[in-house]
Structure 1
């Protein structure tokens, strides 16, 4: 029988003899079901979920109508249960068996056996927005991270995330651990990164979750709205600086505007849903200079990074092949950072 039930404002769990308070809510059938699923990955740039509702349809159709789990780390229940289960936006979503919200508030919560079981039993998983450093710090080497990897690579269910949740689903995560080094600013921006791409505030991580097709991919969110194009190029350069298996020729990136999602199917083909743009970047020319304490110089004759840009639509636009990094239905640009003048590096688009 279908029912709406709050599984306690606080659910006491016993792990290793210690009580942990994990907040869990379920709308729908609280019993586990098993349905046939297909992998998919949706990377949303934040803002309105209604604006990329076609991407939600993409994920939900791959869930087989099973149990959906939403992970949050922002201290609240949020409204995804009614958004998905009741389709309160009237988007024509597929009916699902249940929607469960799990509020993670510590590393202990991410190592909860019950949380692990709920995630492993899910036919779809979604990460809400919030603070991506909390996701990374709490999830690293956790039972929850292991369960997420199981869902994607073994059980093959659709997984998505928005804003901080999208950042978590990169193969190379920008952690947002540090504030801007510039006075009177909180968030690290393009100027910060291209002025000092090796600074500690350009903190990247590869140790948490690596979805299929994302192993050498860094992401960014709220993209055009916050003028983050140059910031993302700096992240790509920093990845080349950090790891020996990453070079200018294999570092890649995906970015999504607000109200927009890049959704990838099980074969590695992506479409862009929503009213903004999706961006697919790949290094194109060698980096001239990335050096401690120096500004970035990645010019390459104004062709340093090749960007394929797709404008989204409600039903999904373009087709981008993650296997060979080529697309149709979009346009090609070249992005660069001219750091010849070390005190005033410039980002540009050709």
Structure 2
């Protein structure tokens, strides 16, 4: 396994992270989830990403159980706060001081740990002053409940404002967690240059576009049984945007490129992400241990310039690049 610094910080993370969104506590049974985590550890993965909202807190509980007994200092455990959890009362979401201070304690209990290595703002909160949010995060760090702080899916101007406050408060804002893959490149124009300037690294989610970049979804054919596209607990909603024939036809053109590089299509997708500027780690998910093994092999792979150019040519105009696609919901969008 390859290890990289998280942004400009001194903390190392595994280039491949294991995440349990849409799986633990939801899509797969607990025994399968535990087997996937064990396989991740076997592959040298030390960085594990979750969030309180995943399976309405159940994913954190499963991850805590799966990592129980491991040497804590040898792991990097990441979680997040923002989305509604529990009974979804008026203070059960967002980035208010009240919600952050209560949410971190709940996450630590479920994860069976005294601290998380990285505590992330899962979206930007339009209804809470940024100063309140950053001060609350600073207090979480000073209380020893988190070592570093990060954000997820924030726009460039939001990240810059948070970084300025973080410097004033002398707390380490080190990361952003965006969706990023060959098909979804919306962070490249604004977010990546801003983060590079500020010393903030990218921990990328969905490097395989929820499985579309494996090539198993074919144009004009039914989706495979048991695939993410058949999951009625959230997976099908997320992958739906890619299940267009124009996208699937382009993705099939990646197969010979992967073969030429000696990789599976999934490994090509993960290796591509890891080679992009400012990426510290790529988060993979899995419902079976063998998926972890396959994707982990992308660590340390270098794609040459001709391969990168061939990928761009194959995908053409189905790639989404509009920076306005990075956005956070307002309360009206959460609750109507």
Query: Which category of TM-score, normalised to the shorter sequence, fits these structures?
Result: 0.3 to 0.5
TM-score (norm 2): 0.36
| Structure with the bigger percentage of helix | 2
Q: TM-score, normalised by structure 1?
A: 0.35
Structure of greater relative contact order (alpha carbons < 8 Å, 6+ residues apart): 2
* The structure with more strand, counted as a fraction of residues: 1
